[in-house]
Structure 1
Amino acid sequence: MHKKITSLKDRMADGPTFGMNIYSTACMPIEVAGNWGLDFVFIDAEHTALGVDKDLEKLILAAHYAAIHSLVRVRGTLEWDIRKALEMGAAGVIVPQVHNAGQMREIIRCSKFPPLGRRGGDSSVRSANYAGPGFDWAHYTQEENARSVIVPMAESYEFFDNIDEILDVEGIDAVHFGPADYSLSRQLPVDYRLGNPEVQTRLALLIEKCHKRSIQVMVPCFPADTETARRLLDMGCDMLLMGSDLSWLNQAGQHIAAIQKTFQGAQHTCV
Protein backbone atom coordinates (compact mmCIF):
# COMPACT_ATOMS: atom_id res chain seq x y z
CA MET A 1 0.00 0.00 0.00
CA HIS A 2 1.30 3.47 -0.87
CA LYS A 3 2.19 5.48 2.22
CA LYS A 4 1.88 9.26 2.37
CA ILE A 5 4.99 11.15 3.41
CA THR A 6 5.81 14.79 3.94
CA SER A 7 8.02 16.54 1.40
CA LEU A 8 11.78 16.17 1.53
CA LYS A 9 12.07 19.93 2.06
CA ASP A 10 9.92 19.63 5.17
CA ARG A 11 12.11 16.79 6.41
CA MET A 12 15.26 18.82 5.72
CA ALA A 13 13.84 21.72 7.73
CA ASP A 14 13.36 19.44 10.76
CA GLY A 15 17.08 18.65 11.19
CA PRO A 16 19.80 16.40 9.76
CA THR A 17 18.77 13.88 7.13
CA PHE A 18 20.32 10.53 6.28
CA GLY A 19 20.40 8.70 2.97
CA MET A 20 22.36 6.22 0.91
CA ASN A 21 23.66 6.02 -2.64
CA ILE A 22 22.02 3.58 -5.05
CA TYR A 23 24.27 2.29 -7.84
CA SER A 24 22.38 -0.85 -8.80
CA THR A 25 19.33 -0.96 -11.05
CA ALA A 26 17.38 -3.00 -8.48
CA CYS A 27 14.39 -1.88 -6.44
CA MET A 28 15.30 -3.97 -3.40
CA PRO A 29 17.95 -1.71 -1.78
CA ILE A 30 15.62 1.29 -2.12
CA GLU A 31 12.78 -0.57 -0.46
CA VAL A 32 15.12 -1.80 2.30
CA ALA A 33 16.30 1.77 2.92
CA GLY A 34 12.68 2.85 3.18
CA ASN A 35 11.87 -0.01 5.54
CA TRP A 36 14.59 1.20 7.92
CA GLY A 37 13.33 4.78 7.89
CA LEU A 38 16.10 6.51 5.96
CA ASP A 39 15.13 9.96 4.68
CA PHE A 40 16.23 9.67 1.07
CA VAL A 41 18.05 7.64 -1.55
CA PHE A 42 20.55 9.11 -4.01
CA ILE A 43 19.88 7.28 -7.28
CA ASP A 44 22.89 7.54 -9.58
CA ALA A 45 22.25 7.93 -13.31
CA GLU A 46 25.67 9.52 -13.91
CA HIS A 47 28.09 6.64 -13.29
CA THR A 48 25.77 3.65 -13.76
CA ALA A 49 23.87 1.82 -16.48
CA LEU A 50 20.74 3.79 -15.59
CA GLY A 51 19.34 6.32 -18.00
CA VAL A 52 16.53 8.77 -17.39
CA ASP A 53 14.09 6.21 -18.75
CA LYS A 54 11.75 3.39 -17.75
CA ASP A 55 14.47 1.75 -15.62
CA LEU A 56 14.85 4.92 -13.57
CA GLU A 57 11.07 5.23 -13.34
CA LYS A 58 10.97 1.76 -11.73
CA LEU A 59 13.37 2.90 -8.99
CA ILE A 60 11.46 6.14 -8.38
CA LEU A 61 8.26 4.10 -8.04
CA ALA A 62 10.02 1.76 -5.59
CA ALA A 63 10.89 4.83 -3.51
CA HIS A 64 7.26 5.99 -3.62
CA TYR A 65 6.12 2.52 -2.49
CA ALA A 66 8.65 2.43 0.37
CA ALA A 67 7.81 6.01 1.48
CA ILE A 68 11.36 7.27 0.99
CA HIS A 69 12.37 10.34 -1.01
CA SER A 70 14.36 9.90 -4.22
CA LEU A 71 17.06 12.28 -5.44
CA VAL A 72 18.34 11.48 -8.92
CA ARG A 73 21.88 12.34 -9.94
CA VAL A 74 21.42 13.13 -13.61
CA ARG A 75 24.13 13.00 -16.27
CA GLY A 76 24.87 16.72 -16.22
CA THR A 77 23.32 20.09 -16.95
CA LEU A 78 20.88 18.53 -19.42
CA GLU A 79 17.36 19.93 -19.73
CA TRP A 80 15.82 16.62 -20.78
CA ASP A 81 17.34 14.69 -17.86
CA ILE A 82 16.43 17.27 -15.24
CA ARG A 83 12.86 17.83 -16.40
CA LYS A 84 12.07 14.15 -16.95
CA ALA A 85 13.44 13.03 -13.59
CA LEU A 86 11.16 15.53 -11.88
CA GLU A 87 8.18 14.60 -14.07
CA MET A 88 8.67 10.93 -13.14
CA GLY A 89 8.17 11.92 -9.52
CA ALA A 90 11.69 12.25 -8.09
CA ALA A 91 11.87 14.53 -5.07
CA GLY A 92 14.73 16.38 -6.73
CA VAL A 93 17.85 16.26 -8.83
CA ILE A 94 21.56 16.27 -8.07
CA VAL A 95 23.58 17.82 -10.88
CA PRO A 96 27.29 16.92 -11.22
CA GLN A 97 30.22 19.04 -12.36
CA VAL A 98 28.79 22.50 -11.77
CA HIS A 99 31.61 24.96 -12.40
CA ASN A 100 30.05 28.40 -12.82
CA ALA A 101 26.98 30.56 -12.31
CA GLY A 102 25.93 30.21 -15.95
CA GLN A 103 25.52 26.45 -15.47
CA MET A 104 23.63 27.02 -12.24
CA ARG A 105 21.21 29.43 -13.89
CA GLU A 106 20.60 26.85 -16.64
CA ILE A 107 19.82 24.17 -14.02
CA ILE A 108 17.22 26.45 -12.42
CA ARG A 109 15.82 27.37 -15.84
CA CYS A 110 15.29 23.66 -16.61
CA SER A 111 13.93 22.62 -13.21
CA LYS A 112 11.60 25.46 -12.21
CA PHE A 113 8.45 26.82 -13.79
CA PRO A 114 8.02 30.59 -14.27
CA PRO A 115 8.66 32.94 -12.63
CA LEU A 116 11.76 31.12 -11.28
CA GLY A 117 12.66 29.30 -14.52
CA ARG A 118 11.34 28.12 -17.87
CA ARG A 119 10.68 24.43 -17.25
CA GLY A 120 8.56 22.91 -19.97
CA GLY A 121 5.24 21.48 -18.84
CA ASP A 122 2.85 18.70 -19.70
CA SER A 123 -0.06 17.46 -17.63
CA SER A 124 0.32 13.82 -18.76
CA VAL A 125 3.09 13.10 -16.22
CA ARG A 126 3.27 11.64 -12.71
CA SER A 127 4.27 14.93 -11.09
CA ALA A 128 0.97 16.41 -12.42
CA ASN A 129 -1.00 13.36 -11.26
CA TYR A 130 -1.73 12.77 -14.95
CA ALA A 131 -4.16 15.71 -15.02
CA GLY A 132 -6.35 13.79 -12.59
CA PRO A 133 -9.11 15.04 -10.27
CA GLY A 134 -8.83 18.74 -9.46
CA PHE A 135 -5.84 19.38 -11.71
CA ASP A 136 -5.07 23.05 -12.11
CA TRP A 137 -2.07 24.41 -13.99
CA ALA A 138 -1.42 27.35 -11.68
CA HIS A 139 -1.55 25.16 -8.58
CA TYR A 140 0.59 22.45 -10.20
CA THR A 141 3.42 24.75 -11.29
CA GLN A 142 3.47 26.51 -7.92
CA GLU A 143 3.56 23.22 -6.03
CA GLU A 144 6.30 21.81 -8.26
CA ASN A 145 8.47 24.86 -7.71
CA ALA A 146 8.01 24.44 -3.97
CA ARG A 147 8.47 20.65 -3.96
CA SER A 148 11.52 20.04 -6.15
CA VAL A 149 14.90 19.88 -4.38
CA ILE A 150 17.78 21.20 -6.49
CA VAL A 151 21.29 20.10 -5.53
CA PRO A 152 24.35 21.15 -7.55
CA MET A 153 27.63 19.37 -6.85
CA ALA A 154 30.73 21.16 -5.61
CA GLU A 155 33.37 18.81 -6.93
CA SER A 156 35.95 20.92 -8.72
CA TYR A 157 38.31 23.79 -8.05
CA GLU A 158 36.28 25.81 -10.57
CA PHE A 159 33.20 25.62 -8.31
CA PHE A 160 35.19 27.19 -5.51
CA ASP A 161 36.72 29.79 -7.83
CA ASN A 162 33.13 30.91 -8.56
CA ILE A 163 31.44 29.91 -5.31
CA ASP A 164 29.73 33.19 -4.45
CA GLU A 165 28.31 33.71 -7.94
CA ILE A 166 27.02 30.12 -8.03
CA LEU A 167 25.41 30.20 -4.58
CA ASP A 168 23.76 33.55 -5.29
CA VAL A 169 21.60 31.92 -7.99
CA GLU A 170 18.09 31.64 -6.55
CA GLY A 171 16.61 28.16 -6.21
CA ILE A 172 19.42 26.06 -4.67
CA ASP A 173 18.29 23.87 -1.76
CA ALA A 174 21.52 22.01 -0.96
CA VAL A 175 25.01 21.54 -2.34
CA HIS A 176 26.62 18.11 -2.44
CA PHE A 177 30.36 18.20 -1.76
CA GLY A 178 32.22 15.59 -3.81
CA PRO A 179 35.64 14.99 -2.22
CA ALA A 180 36.81 12.49 -4.85
CA ASP A 181 36.29 14.63 -7.93
CA TYR A 182 37.46 17.75 -6.12
CA SER A 183 40.68 15.93 -5.25
CA LEU A 184 41.05 14.69 -8.83
CA SER A 185 40.59 18.23 -10.16
CA ARG A 186 43.47 19.38 -7.94
CA GLN A 187 45.57 16.23 -8.49
CA LEU A 188 45.35 15.35 -4.80
CA PRO A 189 45.09 11.81 -3.40
CA VAL A 190 41.45 10.71 -3.24
CA ASP A 191 40.34 10.25 0.37
CA TYR A 192 36.66 9.94 1.27
CA ARG A 193 37.66 10.35 4.91
CA LEU A 194 38.35 14.03 4.12
CA GLY A 195 41.82 13.74 5.57
CA ASN A 196 43.52 16.23 3.22
CA PRO A 197 43.76 19.72 4.82
CA GLU A 198 42.81 21.45 1.55
CA VAL A 199 39.70 19.29 1.18
CA GLN A 200 38.74 20.00 4.80
CA THR A 201 39.21 23.73 4.23
CA ARG A 202 37.04 23.67 1.12
CA LEU A 203 34.25 21.81 2.91
CA ALA A 204 34.37 24.30 5.80
CA LEU A 205 34.17 27.19 3.33
CA LEU A 206 31.23 25.59 1.55
CA ILE A 207 29.35 25.11 4.83
CA GLU A 208 29.96 28.71 5.85
CA LYS A 209 28.83 30.23 2.57
CA CYS A 210 25.85 27.89 2.12
CA HIS A 211 24.51 28.43 5.62
CA LYS A 212 24.67 32.21 5.17
CA ARG A 213 22.20 31.69 2.31
CA SER A 214 20.04 29.04 4.09
CA ILE A 215 21.38 26.33 1.75
CA GLN A 216 22.15 22.90 3.17
CA VAL A 217 25.30 20.81 2.60
CA MET A 218 25.32 17.12 1.67
CA VAL A 219 28.42 14.97 2.16
CA PRO A 220 29.45 11.31 2.03
CA CYS A 221 29.93 9.87 5.52
CA PHE A 222 32.92 7.55 5.26
CA PRO A 223 33.25 5.34 7.14
CA ALA A 224 29.50 5.17 7.72
CA ASP A 225 29.67 5.06 11.50
CA THR A 226 28.46 7.10 14.47
CA GLU A 227 31.80 8.79 15.12
CA THR A 228 32.17 10.06 11.55
CA ALA A 229 28.54 11.16 11.39
CA ARG A 230 28.94 13.13 14.63
CA ARG A 231 32.10 14.80 13.33
CA LEU A 232 30.42 15.87 10.08
CA LEU A 233 27.30 17.11 11.85
CA ASP A 234 29.45 19.07 14.31
CA MET A 235 31.16 20.70 11.32
CA GLY A 236 27.75 21.84 10.10
CA CYS A 237 26.90 19.27 7.44
CA ASP A 238 23.16 18.71 7.04
CA MET A 239 22.61 15.68 4.78
CA LEU A 240 24.74 12.57 5.27
CA LEU A 241 25.17 9.76 2.73
CA MET A 242 25.69 6.63 4.81
CA GLY A 243 27.34 4.40 2.23
CA SER A 244 25.74 2.74 -0.78
CA ASP A 245 24.19 -0.53 -1.85
CA LEU A 246 27.56 -1.34 -3.44
CA SER A 247 29.66 -0.45 -0.39
CA TRP A 248 27.49 -2.56 1.91
CA LEU A 249 27.70 -5.50 -0.52
CA ASN A 250 31.48 -5.11 -0.66
CA GLN A 251 31.63 -5.05 3.14
CA ALA A 252 29.66 -8.29 3.30
CA GLY A 253 31.88 -9.81 0.59
CA GLN A 254 35.02 -8.81 2.47
CA HIS A 255 33.67 -10.39 5.65
CA ILE A 256 32.80 -13.64 3.86
CA ALA A 257 36.18 -13.72 2.08
CA ALA A 258 37.98 -13.40 5.44
CA ILE A 259 36.03 -16.38 6.80
CA GLN A 260 36.70 -18.32 3.60
CA LYS A 261 40.43 -17.60 3.87
CA THR A 262 40.48 -18.80 7.49
CA PHE A 263 38.96 -22.16 6.69
CA GLN A 264 40.84 -22.68 3.43
CA GLY A 265 44.07 -22.02 5.32
CA ALA A 266 43.06 -24.54 7.99
CA GLN A 267 42.35 -27.17 5.34
CA HIS A 268 45.71 -26.62 3.71
CA THR A 269 47.43 -26.94 7.10
CA CYS A 270 45.76 -30.33 7.73
CA VAL A 271 46.84 -31.84 4.39
Structure 2
Amino acid sequence: MEEIKDDPYALAIVTYALHLANSTKKNEALKMLETHRKEDDEGGVHWSAKVGTEKPKDAQQYFYQPRPVDVEMTSYVLLTYMLNGDTVKGLSVVRWLTSQRNALGGFSSTQDTVMALQALGAYAEKVYLPMFNISATVTNGADKHHCNVSAENAIVLQSYQLTNLDDEVELEARGSGVAFAQLQYSYYRTALKDDLPFYCTKEIRELHSGNRLQLDLCCKYAVFSIFYCTSCPDVFAAITMLQNRLRRPELVDCK
Protein backbone atom coordinates (compact mmCIF):
# COMPACT_ATOMS: atom_id res chain seq x y z
CA MET A 1 0.00 0.00 0.00
CA GLU A 2 2.98 2.29 0.17
CA GLU A 3 2.70 2.77 -3.58
CA ILE A 4 -0.79 4.27 -3.30
CA LYS A 5 -0.61 6.05 0.06
CA ASP A 6 -0.59 9.44 -1.69
CA ASP A 7 -3.41 8.51 -4.09
CA PRO A 8 -6.69 8.79 -2.13
CA TYR A 9 -8.79 7.52 -5.05
CA ALA A 10 -6.88 4.26 -5.40
CA LEU A 11 -6.60 3.98 -1.64
CA ALA A 12 -10.37 4.32 -1.21
CA ILE A 13 -11.06 1.48 -3.65
CA VAL A 14 -8.37 -0.76 -2.18
CA THR A 15 -9.57 -0.13 1.37
CA TYR A 16 -13.13 -1.05 0.44
CA ALA A 17 -11.92 -4.19 -1.34
CA LEU A 18 -9.82 -5.22 1.67
CA HIS A 19 -12.84 -4.86 3.94
CA LEU A 20 -14.97 -6.92 1.58
CA ALA A 21 -12.34 -9.66 1.70
CA ASN A 22 -11.89 -9.22 5.48
CA SER A 23 -8.16 -8.83 4.96
CA THR A 24 -5.76 -8.40 7.86
CA LYS A 25 -4.56 -5.21 6.15
CA LYS A 26 -7.98 -3.54 6.15
CA ASN A 27 -7.49 -1.48 9.33
CA GLU A 28 -4.08 -0.30 8.21
CA ALA A 29 -5.52 0.82 4.89
CA LEU A 30 -8.41 2.63 6.58
CA LYS A 31 -6.09 4.56 8.88
CA MET A 32 -4.01 5.57 5.89
CA LEU A 33 -7.14 6.64 4.02
CA GLU A 34 -8.43 8.75 6.91
CA THR A 35 -5.33 10.94 6.75
CA HIS A 36 -6.74 12.35 3.49
CA ARG A 37 -10.13 13.33 4.95
CA LYS A 38 -11.34 16.90 4.44
CA GLU A 39 -13.91 18.60 6.66
CA ASP A 40 -16.00 21.60 5.64
CA ASP A 41 -17.50 24.35 7.78
CA GLU A 42 -20.86 22.57 8.03
CA GLY A 43 -19.48 19.38 9.52
CA GLY A 44 -19.40 17.37 6.32
CA VAL A 45 -16.46 15.08 5.59
CA HIS A 46 -15.25 14.04 2.15
CA TRP A 47 -12.18 12.89 0.23
CA SER A 48 -10.71 14.71 -2.74
CA ALA A 49 -8.34 13.50 -5.43
CA LYS A 50 -6.99 16.96 -6.02
CA VAL A 51 -4.13 18.20 -3.90
CA GLY A 52 -4.53 21.75 -2.67
CA THR A 53 -7.42 24.09 -3.25
CA GLU A 54 -9.33 24.44 -6.49
CA LYS A 55 -9.00 27.51 -8.62
CA PRO A 56 -11.52 30.17 -7.56
CA LYS A 57 -12.88 30.34 -11.10
CA ASP A 58 -13.82 26.65 -11.11
CA ALA A 59 -16.40 27.04 -8.34
CA GLN A 60 -17.82 30.23 -9.85
CA GLN A 61 -18.57 28.93 -13.33
CA TYR A 62 -22.24 28.82 -14.25
CA PHE A 63 -21.89 25.12 -15.10
CA TYR A 64 -20.04 24.21 -11.90
CA GLN A 65 -20.88 20.86 -10.32
CA PRO A 66 -19.11 18.78 -7.68
CA ARG A 67 -16.24 16.75 -9.11
CA PRO A 68 -17.47 13.20 -9.83
CA VAL A 69 -14.23 11.61 -8.62
CA ASP A 70 -14.64 13.22 -5.19
CA VAL A 71 -18.21 11.95 -4.86
CA GLU A 72 -17.18 8.49 -6.01
CA MET A 73 -14.25 8.02 -3.65
CA THR A 74 -16.21 9.48 -0.72
CA SER A 75 -18.91 6.91 -1.47
CA TYR A 76 -16.33 4.12 -1.23
CA VAL A 77 -15.33 5.42 2.20
CA LEU A 78 -18.95 5.46 3.35
CA LEU A 79 -19.41 1.89 2.12
CA THR A 80 -16.32 0.91 4.11
CA TYR A 81 -17.69 2.53 7.24
CA MET A 82 -20.95 0.67 6.78
CA LEU A 83 -19.12 -2.66 6.53
CA ASN A 84 -17.66 -1.80 9.94
CA GLY A 85 -21.05 -0.66 11.23
CA ASP A 86 -19.61 2.77 12.04
CA THR A 87 -22.65 5.02 11.57
CA VAL A 88 -21.10 7.79 13.70
CA LYS A 89 -18.31 8.49 11.22
CA GLY A 90 -20.69 7.70 8.40
CA LEU A 91 -23.05 10.50 9.38
CA SER A 92 -20.49 13.21 8.55
CA VAL A 93 -19.87 11.59 5.17
CA VAL A 94 -23.61 11.37 4.50
CA ARG A 95 -23.96 15.05 5.36
CA TRP A 96 -21.44 15.96 2.64
CA LEU A 97 -22.77 13.54 0.03
CA THR A 98 -26.35 14.73 0.38
CA SER A 99 -25.20 18.34 0.03
CA GLN A 100 -23.77 17.50 -3.42
CA ARG A 101 -27.02 16.12 -4.84
CA ASN A 102 -28.89 18.01 -7.52
CA ALA A 103 -32.62 18.75 -7.54
CA LEU A 104 -33.38 15.38 -9.17
CA GLY A 105 -31.52 13.38 -6.55
CA GLY A 106 -28.51 12.52 -8.71
CA PHE A 107 -24.97 13.78 -9.00
CA SER A 108 -22.65 14.99 -11.76
CA SER A 109 -22.17 11.78 -13.73
CA THR A 110 -23.41 8.21 -13.95
CA GLN A 111 -20.59 6.49 -12.08
CA ASP A 112 -20.58 8.79 -9.06
CA THR A 113 -24.40 8.70 -8.92
CA VAL A 114 -24.40 4.88 -8.84
CA MET A 115 -21.77 4.72 -6.11
CA ALA A 116 -23.28 7.51 -4.02
CA LEU A 117 -26.78 6.04 -4.09
CA GLN A 118 -25.37 2.63 -3.18
CA ALA A 119 -23.49 4.13 -0.24
CA LEU A 120 -26.46 6.18 0.95
CA GLY A 121 -28.63 3.09 0.67
CA ALA A 122 -26.18 1.12 2.81
CA TYR A 123 -26.27 3.86 5.43
CA ALA A 124 -30.08 3.94 5.37
CA GLU A 125 -30.12 0.19 5.94
CA LYS A 126 -27.88 0.51 8.99
CA VAL A 127 -29.84 3.30 10.67
CA TYR A 128 -33.29 1.91 9.87
CA LEU A 129 -35.67 1.55 12.81
CA PRO A 130 -38.74 -0.73 12.79
CA MET A 131 -40.78 2.02 14.48
CA PHE A 132 -39.78 4.58 11.85
CA ASN A 133 -42.14 7.55 12.03
CA ILE A 134 -41.24 11.22 11.56
CA SER A 135 -43.55 14.22 11.50
CA ALA A 136 -42.05 17.30 9.83
CA THR A 137 -43.31 20.88 9.56
CA VAL A 138 -41.97 23.44 7.08
CA THR A 139 -42.60 27.06 8.04
CA ASN A 140 -42.15 29.75 5.40
CA GLY A 141 -43.40 33.09 6.65
CA ALA A 142 -47.08 32.73 7.46
CA ASP A 143 -47.38 29.44 5.54
CA LYS A 144 -46.94 26.02 7.10
CA HIS A 145 -46.71 22.64 5.42
CA HIS A 146 -46.95 19.35 7.31
CA CYS A 147 -45.73 15.98 6.09
CA ASN A 148 -45.33 12.57 7.66
CA VAL A 149 -42.60 10.06 6.80
CA SER A 150 -43.14 6.45 7.82
CA ALA A 151 -42.16 2.99 6.68
CA GLU A 152 -45.12 2.97 4.29
CA ASN A 153 -44.07 6.08 2.33
CA ALA A 154 -40.33 6.29 3.05
CA ILE A 155 -39.39 5.88 -0.62
CA VAL A 156 -41.93 8.45 -1.83
CA LEU A 157 -40.64 11.96 -2.54
CA GLN A 158 -42.67 14.63 -0.79
CA SER A 159 -42.14 18.18 -2.03
CA TYR A 160 -43.41 21.62 -1.15
CA GLN A 161 -43.01 24.79 -3.21
CA LEU A 162 -42.12 27.87 -1.19
CA THR A 163 -44.24 30.95 -1.81
CA ASN A 164 -42.73 33.56 0.51
CA LEU A 165 -39.29 33.84 -1.03
CA ASP A 166 -38.24 36.78 1.14
CA ASP A 167 -39.00 34.99 4.42
CA GLU A 168 -36.96 32.48 6.34
CA VAL A 169 -37.52 28.75 6.00
CA GLU A 170 -37.71 26.67 9.16
CA LEU A 171 -37.90 22.89 9.35
CA GLU A 172 -39.00 21.10 12.50
CA ALA A 173 -39.08 17.31 12.76
CA ARG A 174 -40.18 15.01 15.55
CA GLY A 175 -40.29 11.27 15.93
CA SER A 176 -37.86 8.40 15.45
CA GLY A 177 -35.79 7.45 12.43
CA VAL A 178 -33.62 9.17 9.83
CA ALA A 179 -35.03 11.28 6.99
CA PHE A 180 -33.44 13.51 4.38
CA ALA A 181 -34.65 17.05 3.72
CA GLN A 182 -33.32 19.18 0.88
CA LEU A 183 -33.88 22.82 -0.01
CA GLN A 184 -33.37 23.54 -3.70
CA TYR A 185 -33.17 27.04 -5.12
CA SER A 186 -31.98 28.64 -8.34
CA TYR A 187 -31.64 32.19 -9.57
CA TYR A 188 -30.14 34.24 -12.37
CA ARG A 189 -27.73 37.11 -12.08
CA THR A 190 -25.87 39.44 -14.38
CA ALA A 191 -22.33 38.31 -15.14
CA LEU A 192 -19.78 40.34 -13.21
CA LYS A 193 -17.31 40.15 -16.07
CA ASP A 194 -17.40 38.93 -19.63
CA ASP A 195 -15.24 35.82 -19.22
CA LEU A 196 -17.59 33.31 -20.83
CA PRO A 197 -16.18 31.26 -23.73
CA PHE A 198 -19.12 32.10 -25.99
CA TYR A 199 -21.72 34.80 -26.53
CA CYS A 200 -25.18 34.42 -28.09
CA THR A 201 -27.86 36.84 -29.19
CA LYS A 202 -31.40 35.96 -30.22
CA GLU A 203 -34.21 37.65 -32.09
CA ILE A 204 -37.78 36.33 -32.38
CA ARG A 205 -39.97 37.64 -35.19
CA GLU A 206 -43.58 36.96 -36.08
CA LEU A 207 -44.32 35.93 -39.67
CA HIS A 208 -47.54 35.42 -41.60
CA SER A 209 -49.69 37.51 -39.28
CA GLY A 210 -48.39 35.78 -36.20
CA ASN A 211 -49.01 32.23 -37.43
CA ARG A 212 -45.28 31.53 -37.42
CA LEU A 213 -42.36 32.50 -35.24
CA GLN A 214 -38.85 32.82 -36.63
CA LEU A 215 -35.94 32.51 -34.23
CA ASP A 216 -32.64 34.02 -35.35
CA LEU A 217 -29.80 32.87 -33.13
CA CYS A 218 -26.29 34.22 -33.56
CA CYS A 219 -23.37 32.89 -31.52
CA LYS A 220 -19.70 33.64 -31.45
CA TYR A 221 -17.04 31.53 -29.80
CA ALA A 222 -13.60 32.53 -28.60
CA VAL A 223 -10.98 30.38 -30.32
CA PHE A 224 -7.52 29.86 -28.92
CA SER A 225 -5.74 28.66 -32.06
CA ILE A 226 -5.89 30.04 -35.61
CA PHE A 227 -4.41 28.11 -38.52
CA TYR A 228 -3.72 29.64 -41.93
CA CYS A 229 -4.46 27.24 -44.76
CA THR A 230 -2.19 27.80 -47.79
CA SER A 231 -3.15 24.91 -50.06
CA CYS A 232 -6.90 24.49 -49.48
CA PRO A 233 -9.82 25.03 -51.86
CA ASP A 234 -11.58 28.35 -51.86
CA VAL A 235 -12.93 28.57 -48.30
CA PHE A 236 -15.33 31.38 -49.12
CA ALA A 237 -16.85 29.39 -51.96
CA ALA A 238 -17.37 26.43 -49.63
CA ILE A 239 -19.03 28.61 -47.01
CA THR A 240 -21.31 30.18 -49.61
CA MET A 241 -22.35 26.76 -50.88
CA LEU A 242 -23.03 25.62 -47.31
CA GLN A 243 -25.16 28.66 -46.56
CA ASN A 244 -27.30 27.98 -49.62
CA ARG A 245 -28.03 24.49 -48.32
CA LEU A 246 -28.94 25.49 -44.77
CA ARG A 247 -32.53 26.20 -43.86
CA ARG A 248 -33.62 28.28 -40.95
CA PRO A 249 -35.70 26.33 -38.42
CA GLU A 250 -39.24 27.63 -37.96
CA LEU A 251 -41.79 27.02 -35.26
CA VAL A 252 -45.25 26.50 -36.72
CA ASP A 253 -48.28 27.26 -34.60
CA CYS A 254 -50.66 24.37 -35.27
CA LYS A 255 -54.25 25.57 -35.05
TM category, shorter: under 0.3
Between Structure 1 and Structure 2, the one with more helix by share is 1
Q: Work out which of the two has the higher radius of gyration on C-alpha atoms and give 1 or 2.
A: 2
TM-score after normalising by structure 2: 0.25
Higher relative contact order (CA 8 A, sep 6+): 1
TM-score after normalising by structure 1: 0.24
